[in-house]
């Protein structure tokens, strides 16, 4: 049955990733101070807001665009792999920080769990074998 193949579920997960990333960017765009507070950030001056928008709007929209592109039929699997790795880079960075200052807590910890689940899910659901040249 076509609807239960890993390729189908991966496309669904990529579409969900695009939706969640877009909504996250929209929330950051509409209420940067609230989103920053949830993330444990305090925005100061033009540079602080500029950096926040670069990460929480620009990067999230780029993730959404990559996920949408990867979810299109007949796209190379590498696009979904890159989406998953890009998402996993965030909890990897938090793991580095955890060795120095401890694990995140609250909403940021839950976000980290979601990022790990989605990133690993995209890699586990990869259709076909991985080819290394």
- Summarised one tens digit per residue, pLDDT across range 7-61 is 999 999 999 999 999 999 999 999 999 999 999 999 999 999 999 999 999 999 9
Domain annotation covers residue 130: no
Calpha distance 122→12 (Å, rounded):
10
Domain annotation covers residue 129: no
Domain annotation covers residue 43: yes
Domain annotation covers residue 131: no
Domain annotation covers residue 28: yes
This prediction has a pTM of 0.88
Q: How many domains does the chain have?
A: 1
Domain enclosing residue 108, as ranges = 2-124
Treating both helix axes as pointing N-terminal to C-terminal, what angle do 45-53 and 6-30 enclose, rounded to 10 degrees?
160
Domain annotation covers residue 133: no
């Amino acid at each position: 049955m076509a609807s239960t193949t890993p390729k189908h579920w991966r496309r669904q997960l990529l579409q969900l990733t695009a939706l969640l990333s877009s909504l996250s960017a929209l929330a950051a765009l509409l209420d940067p101070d609230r989103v920053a507070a949830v993330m444990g950030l305090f925005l100061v001056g033009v540079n602080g807001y500029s950096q926040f928008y670069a990460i929480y709007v620009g990067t999230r929209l780029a993730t959404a665009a990559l996920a949408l592109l990867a979810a299109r039929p007949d796209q190379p699997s590498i696009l979904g792999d890159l989406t998953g790795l890009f998402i996993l880079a965030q909890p990897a960075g938090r793991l580095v920080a955890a060795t120095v200052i401890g694990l995140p807590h609250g909403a940021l910890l839950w976000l980290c769990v979601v990022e790990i689940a989605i990133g690993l899910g995209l890699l586990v659901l990869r259709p076909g074998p991985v080819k290394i040249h």
